[in-house]
Structure 1
Amino acid sequence: MAAPVNQTSSFQVDKAATAPAPAPEAAAPQSGSQVPGAGTGPATSPRPRANHPALRRWLDRIGLALWPPRCLLCAEPGEAGRDLCRACHAALPFAGPACVRCALPLPAPAELCGACLRRPPPQASAHAAFVYAFPLDRLLPRAKFHGDLAGARLLAQLMAPRFAAAERPQALLPVPLHRSRLRRRGYDQALELARPLARALELPLRDDLLRRVRATAAQSRLDAAARRRNLRGAFAVRAGVPLPAHVAVFDDVMTTGATVHAAARALRRAGVARVDVWVCARAP
């Protein structure tokens, strides 16, 4: 199978087609030629910033012309500016009816699942973009274990419209890795997924608030009870940092919920009034 071509374009969700150029005092003047399509003016005028909407759209068009999208699952041509073809998009297991507190898939709409009725979790709500099933279980591990940033960007593109309908938090907090695992892996998959998602939704990304203070065993090797014991005391909130009143903790996959529950408890103890949980995928 032909190797997928990674893309470098960025994206926005439901933004206006145009936006005013930044005022001259918003960016330091720079010398050199102007970016095509960014307007003309005196030599002392600043160039538009790279995150200016009009310039970003222009760069997107250039990127798509130079590197046409290619499906990351089957290598067929992508569509709608994404590295995903129509057939693979239709096969994705988007989340349906689910428990409002833990995002557990349910056969029909309901407020709470039995487990959340018996023992309410620390988060106020939970939202999952997908159910962890084929073919997402082929795409997500590429971003989680193999550093595929093109896969992370594609997943963020797909997640953004789903989370745009949720109650808007004041900040998005990716679940952090312990520094020892971060050194071994070289990147934090939750952060790499959350970064383009926060950008698309125009949410502050706060990876400075929550710390993983204790190295833990890999959750995938443990049962539910062992997962809860494994995460006790694993997270702490940085002292002396002002906390938003409402945050959403983001993680790649939620299975038993032990990781996000531990993170939510640490934030609640530190004084955060409301913690929601957003995950890319929820295991059924």
Structure 2
Amino acid sequence: MQIQNKWNRAMIDLVFPRRCPICDEVMPYGAKGICGKHELLPYVTEPTCMKCGKSLDDEELEYCADCRTHIRSFERAYPVFRYVEPVASSVLAIKYHNKREYVEYYGSLVAERIRKAGLAERLQIILPVPVHRSKLRKRGYNQAELLADVVGRRLDIPVDNGHLLRVSDTTPQKELSPLERANNIKQALEVRALPAEWKTVLLIDDIYTTGATVQACTEALQEAGVEQVYVGVICIGEGR
């Protein structure tokens, strides 16, 4: 079976060659990750905010201005990249241009970030940030769910998409103020009865901008009995 799977993968690579997630150039046969043109990517670097994980300019600070100003009920977020080019366009291509093949690369990096943080052994479940069924129908997939599946497979942690739900469609977050974003998402979420053992969970999304979405999801999960919520994302906005 393993030999057959490798053969199938080889045939797929020949017919549909892998492309670099950053620039979409065709990769050499058998190559993984990204092509050799991208040595300097916008990784999040220390010092970082102890709550949202974004890079800080001042190493004397523990929290960024956003996290000092707004309530953050999750334990900590772990972003891999800053939300700038060339990563920003690549991540948006997953969502809007059906570049689902990029998810394997980014999911592996998020999983490694979580592993290095020492969280893997503490988590009972991984939950993707949900999308409403109308968006799922239009797009055909939830990019956060695809990302969560890769992270779960890499860390050997189960993934669930049947308990944290978005039950109403909402105005796109980018069109709203921070306060409007928070209210917008809170009203759209529903949490079905959770297994009692789900006390520490990992919430997965592609992009962290204002934090309103993951905060609303965190509050909903904590109201349903979850004790600790950690967040894994591909990239995070520069913010303040």
What TM bracket, shorter-length normalisation? 0.7 to 0.9
Gaps of 5+ in 2: none
Question: 1:244 — aligned with what?
Answer: 198
Residue 243 of structure 1, CA deviation = 5.0
- Counting only pairs closer than 5 Å after superposition, residues 166-181 of structure 1 correspond to structure 2 as 166=117, 167-168=119-120, 169-181=123-135
> Structure 1: 5+ residue runs without aligned partners?
1-34, 38-54
TM normalised by structure 1 equals 0.72
Give the letter for the 1:234 counterpart. A
Q: Which amino acid aligns with 1:123?
A: F
Q: CA deviation at 1:65?
A: 7.2
Q: Is structure 2 residue 231 aligned with structure 1 residue 231?
A: no
Equivalent residue number for residue 31 of structure 1: none
1:229-276 residue CA offsets vs partner (Å, 9 max, x unmatched): 212222121126445110011111011011110000000001101011
Kindly tell me: are residues 65 and 259 of structure 1, through their superposed partners in 2, closer, same or farther at Cα, counting changes over 3 Å?
A: closer
More helix by share: 2
Aligned-partner Cα distance in 2 for 1:64–1:162:
29
Distance 1:224 1:199 in 2: 34
Pairwise CA distance, 1:103? 2.1
**Following the alignment from structure 2 to structure 1, what is the Cα–Cα distance between the partners of residues 2 and 56?**
51
Are the equivalent residues in 1 in contact too, given 2:110–2:232 (CA < 8 A)? Answer: no
TM normalised by structure 2 equals: 0.85
Matched position secondary structure for 1:91: coil
> 1 CA distance for matches of 2:194 and 2:18?
45
1:131 aligns with 2:78: no
Q: Read off the aligned partner of 1:237 and give its amino acid letter.
A: V
Alignment partner, residue 96 of structure 2: 145
Matched residues in 1 for 2:18 and 2:136: separation?
Answer: 30
Q: Secondary structure at the match of 1:92?
A: coil
Answering whether residue 116 of structure 2 is matched by residue 158 of structure 1, we say: no
- Cα distance in 2 for partners of 1:36, 1:164 equals 26
- 1:89-128 to structure 2, matched below 5 A, reads 90-97=39-46, 98-109=48-59, 110-128=61-79
Tell me whether 1:81 sits opposite 2:31 in the alignment.
Answer: yes
- Trace 1:1-284 onto structure 2 (pairs within 5 A): 35=1, 58=6, 62=10, 66=14, 69-72=18-21, 73-75=23-25, 77=27, 81-88=31-38, 90-97=39-46, 98-109=48-59, 110-166=61-117, 167-168=119-120, 169-239=123-193, 241-242=195-196, 244-284=198-238
2:187 partner letter: G
Would you say the 8 A contact 1:243–1:271 is kept in 2?
no
Percent identity of paired positions between Structure 1 and Structure 2: 32
- CA deviations over 1:34-78 (Å, ceiling 9, x no partner): x476xxxxxxxxxxxxxxxxx87x569846974664424151535
Higher relative contact order (CA 8 A, sep 6+): 2
Instruction: Provide the rounded CA distance (Å) in 1 between the counterparts of 2:156 and 2:180.
Output: 37
Superposed displacement of residue 214, structure 1: 2.2
CA distance in 1, matches of 2:30, 2:45: 23
Contact 1:128 1:278 in 2 (8 A): yes
CA distance in 1, matches of 2:129, 2:68: 25
Q: CA, structure 1 residues 221+243, in 2 after alignment: closer, same or farther (shift >3 Å)?
A: farther
Judged with a 3 Å threshold, the aligned counterparts in structure 2 of structure 1 residues 136 and 265 are, in CA distance, closer, same or farther, namely: same
Q: Distance in 2 between matches of 1:217 and 1:36?
A: 46
C-alpha RMSD of matched pairs (Å) = 2.6
2:207 alignment partner, SS class = strand
